[in-house]
Every structure is written in structure tokens, then in C-alpha cells.
A and B are shown apart, each in its own frame.
Chain A
Amino acid sequence: MSKRSIVNDLYKSRKRVCTAPSSAINETSEFNDGLNGTSFSAAEIPSDTKVSLLHLKELFPLERFEGRLPVVIVKHQLYSLINDRTAVDKELNTLKLANEIKLFKLGAELDDYCIVFTKEYQDHVIKVMSELCISKNICNKFVNTVIKKYTDVCINKDTLMNEFNFTDSEITQLVKASVLTVRDVGNWWVALPNAGIFMKCFLRGRKAIVTMIRKCKYREILQTELEQRKWPKVCKLGLQYHMHEVIGADLIKCIQTTSGLLLRLKDS
């Protein structure tokens, strides 16, 4: 945002504009989300973050993974769509506490979180557990306690044993199913099974896009040109997905030019 527009806000006129009282007070207007036809009533207009999450959900190529993964969104992608990072963080926190999404720590940096919608996570966990022949008992217990009630990224032994009544052998079964991964003695991360498949594609794709830009003259390229380049078939996640992710992770600087958006590799 240019400095002038910020400064002009301070000097904006204070005239109050009179609005005619709306006649349709009792009717609740329906808004159609053009993406996939879901409609929201006026009372629950989704926040910016939620709309971006739904948009990014469309970018994830589910068919390529043959049902082994649910839709995974990386938190950085939201930063590339919405300017105000603090607002994104706050809204994600409210969604997390309302148990609509689940956050998982995935990646080397302290900040790398992945977002999965709770419903899809639940289905995915049930499927994985039945494939590995883990007893239905444990599976249901995990779904009803940890997925439905617990919203944090990591969980420790006290919570599992005292609040949710898991025994040691049941915990071992959960680790075997890779819904819990060991962090420390008595501390586990709540994890996404088959996350390894996702991470492999993700790292490959990120490396591909960064190398593509690095090979350009002056290490910069117009967004439209990048979209026309050949994308290696090995990286299944797709160019758009990685572009959002790499912009939000601060590896790439976006500069508005007269011929569109220019992506420049940040000096390091």
C-alpha cells in the first residue's frame, strides 16, 4: 500500500453519509460463493481467511494423490493472498479453537504449519486406521477425543492418559498409525498420516520453482511468463500452489509493474 494512501486515511472527511433504512430487514439475503456453490446467510459472512482457505482448497490436486491425502494447505499461502499477517493469524486461531480446521507442524522452520479441514482429517484418519487394521475401538476413541475436542498442535502424556483415558499400548498403536509423532519423552505432535508423501512433493516443487526463477537473467520473472513455462510432471502439486507458498514464505518479492506482477528472488 503506498504511503500516500495511508496518510490520506488520516485526513479523510468526517461527513456521515445517510443511508436509507433497508426494507428487507426480515429477509436474510443469501450470498452465493461462485467457487463451489456453497451459500452463506448474511449472518455468517465468512472472514477473509476462510474465503482464501476455500480458494486454496481448489488449487490442491486431490486426484493426483489417489485418495492417500486430504487437502493440505500451507499457512504461508494465506500470507500471499491477504496483506495483514496479524489478522490472518488471529482468524486462523479462532477457526482452530472452533475446531473447523486443524494445524500441523510440518517442516524445518519454526513457523511452518499445514492446515487441514477437520472433517477431511477425520475421514482420512478413519481410512488409514482401517487400512492398518488398528482396532475400531482405539480409532473411535481417538476420533471422539483428540480430533473432536483437542485443538492444540502437540499433546503430552498427562492429557492422553488422564483426560482421554488412553493406555500405553493404545498410545503405541496410535504412534504406529502415525497420527501421533514423538517429539520428546511424553510429548507428541498431533500428525497427519502419510504426510511424508506430501512433504516430498512439496519440497521438490519448492526447489523447482526457486531454481526456475534463479536461472532467469537478473533472477526475476513476470508472473504471466512463469505461468507459461513448462512445469515438471514429477512435482504433483502444481505451479499455482507453489507460487502462493513461495511468495508467502518471503523467499520471493512481489513487485507491481506496468506489465503485471514481477517476482524477484530475495537476496540471500
Chain B
Amino acid sequence: MLKFLTARESGIDSPVVLRRIESTKRAYSLELSKHRDVECVFYGGINSLDIDPVESRYLLSGTVSGTLHIHDLTNHSGEVKHTTKAVCNVSRSNTYKHKHSVETVQWYPLDTGMFLSSGTDRTLKIWDTNSMKPADEYEFSGIVYSHHMSPVATTHCLVAVGCHSSTLKLVDLKSGSATHMLKGHKKSILTVRWSPKNEYLLVSGSEDNRVLLWDVRSSKGSLMSLDQFNGQEVPTFLSACTAHSGNVNGMSFTMDGLHLVTSGTDNRIRLWNIETGRNTLVNYGKIQNETRKGLQFAVSCWCKSDLIYIPDEYCNIQVYEMFTGRKIDTLRGHLQQVNCCVFHPDYQELYSGGNDRNVLIWEPELDGSYDNYLKERSSKKQTQSRSFVSRIAATADSWSSDEET
């Protein structure tokens, strides 16, 4: 580490090298945080998490009981042992909460004054953070599995909403219209994502085993359907090139927008090159996945070789190297199935929420020496306070008074 700092200082290495090496080292060595946890205000299992893209400071979560919570991730207390407190909630008593479960939450990409949530009560609500009331609401004909708003859009204000029974709608926030529908899927759409590089490229994955790429400006339909065999094995139905052999329930772009990771109920993860639309054929092995709704997994960023953090069926989170498919680690800590993971881009921490109503923080493993220092400091404090208490305890009792003889 010191060698890299000196190299950076003298200009031998570019600044990116130091950031990349340190991020990679931290992202590889995640373990359950020993000193920090998230205040438990959840009444039900957590379905979706999002960190605000502006300052990476607030964690937004949506639960099974229709409530939403915002936690402040920064630690101003000065102590190492810290509980991340909830700053505001849409609690059970709030009249505007979702009637059934919340499936997806997302911060407005430009600032934290607004966030969007959608759920099984078939609505998409746009919330004002300061008053914690919805500024707008959209109703759909089927339950909303997933919605996403483009993180780089400057010319449009569209929210892509994937619903039950093959409805993929684009909601325009500026005009309030929710009529633009993209036709192409045959069954429910479980996950939608905008590309982080191209503001018009939308990707949707559905129960009919396909992943479709859309350019929202074109009126002709989807650009292409991703094919897991890359056209080699002659398909039985020539029109069906499927991305997975089961429902596509999770998608994530890499930070540079060049690759897309998808996961499906055929227990496979696939990595796609978005420029050509081809399957890169990286073999990750089997990852048990039977989720019938959307699964939110995380991809690290700023690393030399990126990692995929994906929840599996047995309450664990599996960590795979993205370009070689090697399994790095299994993160164990949850008591029930994990529904969502989100990676903090600056701290290289992972936040995961599951059906056991916990959000766990996974931190990079620190050196043993820092832990020893903390132990010494806390034991010193304890010995000081103990001696103080004993002086009083020796002479105090409840009936005698010091003034009397």
C-alpha cells in the first residue's frame, strides 16, 4: 500500500491505479461487519434496497408490509460501534403507504428530494422526501415487478415499469403520461434496467426466458433478443432465442455499461457483451435460484476484476469473479432468504436485505492490529469507569445518610 502511495505521489502510477488496487483488495475481502449494524425498524422482509447516487449517503429500503425506510449511512458519532439510524419512514400508520408489498425502490437519479417505489398493489408512487407524501401515483393493470429510471438521462424523464402479463410501460414524469407501451414479451416482465452509458437503451428480462434490448426512440419493437447459444445450436422454434432456460429474474449492468449480467431460474448466471449482444460464455457453475419475482444482485465497481454478489436459495450470498467465473467466497449471516444486495461504490461495502427483516452490512476485513487497538481502548475505558463506581458503591446504602453521625 505504501509503495503504491509513493508511486502515486511521484507520478510513476496514474491515480486510477491506486484506486483500482485498493478497491479490488477491499471488495475481495468482505465479511460481516463487527462494529456496525442497521437499526431494525422493519416490520417485514426487505424486498429492495437502493443507495442514493448523488452522495452515496442514504439507504432506501422497501419491505413486504408496504413500508419504506431511509437510513443515513454516514457515521458522525466518532465511535466505531455505530448503529445506522433511520432518518425517516413511511410507517404502517401512514395513509399513503403501499397496500401490499413493495417490490422495487429507487432514488431519483439527480437528487435525494424524490424517490420512486412500486409494488404488488399495482401502483408506482413518486414520493417527496421532505414531506414523505406521494407527489404522484400511477396505476397499472397488473402487479408491478420492477421499475427503473435511467441514471444518465438528460433529454427524457422516463421510468420503465415491468408488470404482470407482458406489459412494459414507459411513464413520462414530465407530462404524467403512462401510455407508451413496449410490446415484445409474452409473459410477465420480472426486471428492467436502463444502460448506464446510453440513455435510450433499455433491457428487460421476463418469465418467457428472454432478455430484450430496446431503443426507446424506435417504434419498430425490440432491437434484439439475447441468445444464450449465440446462434450456434439450431433452436427448435426459430423465433425463440432465449437468454436463459428459465425465468430471467435478475439483471445488472457493469459500471461502464459494456457488459450485462443476468441470472435466471435455470440456476445459471450469464455475462453478455452489450456491444455485440453475444453471450461471453463465462461459466459460473450452478447457483440455486428459484425466485419467482425479481432478484436484486450487486456488481462491484472500480475494481481490477469486478465481482458479482448474488444471493442464493440457502440464505447465503455467493461472490463470483465476473470475467473468469471463479467462485471467491460465500457470505453467511442471514437467517432467511436474501432478497436484495447493493454495493456501496465509495466504501466498498455491501448491504443486503432479506426475509429475516435484517439489513446486514458487509465490510472489508480489516487488519487484526486495528481490532486489537479497539479492544485495548475499550478495556481502558472500562477499567477507569469501574474504579469510579466502586468508590461510591463501597460507602453507599439506601438508608443511612452521610450527614448524620
Q: Given known contacts A6-B28, A10-B304, is B326 in contact with A83 (CB within 8 Å)?
A: yes
B283 contacts A89, C-beta separation under 8 Å: yes
Q: Given known contacts A10-B25, A184-B236, is B326 in contact with A89 (CB within 8 Å)?
A: no
Question: Which B residues touch A187, using CB under 8 A?
Answer: 234, 236
Q: Does A118 contact B (CB under 8 A)?
A: no
Chain A-chain B contacts (Cβ-Cβ < 8 Å), number: 54
A89 contacts B281, C-beta separation under 8 Å: yes
Q: Given known contacts A6-B28, A85-B283, A86-B281, is B236 in contact with A183 (CB within 8 Å)?
A: yes
CB distance from B325 to the nearest CB of A (A): 5
- Please measure, in the bound complex, the distance between the C-alpha atom of A90 and the C-alpha atom of B325, giving whole angstroms: 13
Binds B, one of A42-50, A148-156, A165-173: A148-156
Q: List B residues 20-43 near A (Cβ within 8 Å).
A: 21, 24-25, 28-29
- Please measure, in the bound complex, the distance between the C-alpha atom of A184 and the C-alpha atom of B238, giving whole angstroms: 12
A3 contacts B236, C-beta separation under 8 Å: no
- Please measure, in the bound complex, the distance between the C-alpha atom of A79 and the C-alpha atom of B285, giving whole angstroms: 9
Contact with B along A159-201 (1 / 0, CB 8 A): 0000000000000000000000001100100000000000000
Q: Does A132 contact B (CB under 8 A)?
A: no
Question: Which A residues touch B284, using CB under 8 A?
Answer: 85
Question: Which A residues touch B21, using CB under 8 A?
Answer: 10-11
Q: Given known contacts A89-B283, A187-B234, is B314 in contact with A267 (CB within 8 Å)?
A: yes
B28 contacts A7, C-beta separation under 8 Å: yes
- Please measure, in the bound complex, the distance between the C-alpha atom of A7 and the C-alpha atom of B284, giving whole angstroms: 20
Q: Does B400 contact A (CB under 8 A)?
A: no
Which listed residue (A1, A6, A85, A156) contacts B234, Cβ 8 A? Answer: A156
Which listed residue (B234, B266, B326, B328) contacts A84, Cβ 8 A? Answer: B326
Q: Does A123 contact B (CB under 8 A)?
A: no
Question: Which A residues touch B324, using CB under 8 A?
Answer: 84, 86-87
Contact with A along B185-228 (1 / 0, CB 8 A): 00000000000000000000000000000000000000000000
- Please measure, in the bound complex, the distance between the C-alpha atom of A183 and the C-alpha atom of B236, giving whole angstroms: 8
B29 contacts A110, C-beta separation under 8 Å: no
CB distance from B139 to the nearest CB of A (A): 40
B326 contacts A152, C-beta separation under 8 Å: no
Q: Does B233 contact A (CB under 8 A)?
A: yes
- Please measure, in the bound complex, the distance between the C-alpha atom of A7 and the C-alpha atom of B305, giving whole angstroms: 11
Q: Does B175 contact A (CB under 8 A)?
A: no
Which listed residue (B29, B266, B281, B325) contacts A3, Cβ 8 A? Answer: B29
Question: Which B residues touch A154, using CB under 8 A?
Answer: 233-234
- Please measure, in the bound complex, the distance between the C-alpha atom of A85 and the C-alpha atom of B268, giving whole angstroms: 13
Question: Which A residues touch B172, using CB under 8 A?
Answer: none
Q: Does B5 contact A (CB under 8 A)?
A: no
Q: Does A250 contact B (CB under 8 A)?
A: yes
CB distance from A246 to the nearest CB of B (A): 13
- Please measure, in the bound complex, the distance between the C-alpha atom of A79 and the C-alpha atom of B282, giving whole angstroms: 13
- Please measure, in the bound complex, the distance between the C-alpha atom of A52 and the C-alpha atom of B283, giving whole angstroms: 18
Which listed residue (A3, A7, A86, A267) contacts B283, Cβ 8 A? Answer: A86
Residues in B lying within 8 Å of A, measured CB to CB: 1, 3, 21, 24-25, 28-29, 232-234, 236, 245, 266, 281-286, 304, 314, 324-326, 328-329
Residues in A lying within 8 Å of B, measured CB to CB: 1, 3, 6-7, 10-11, 79, 83-90, 110, 152-154, 156, 183-184, 187, 250, 267
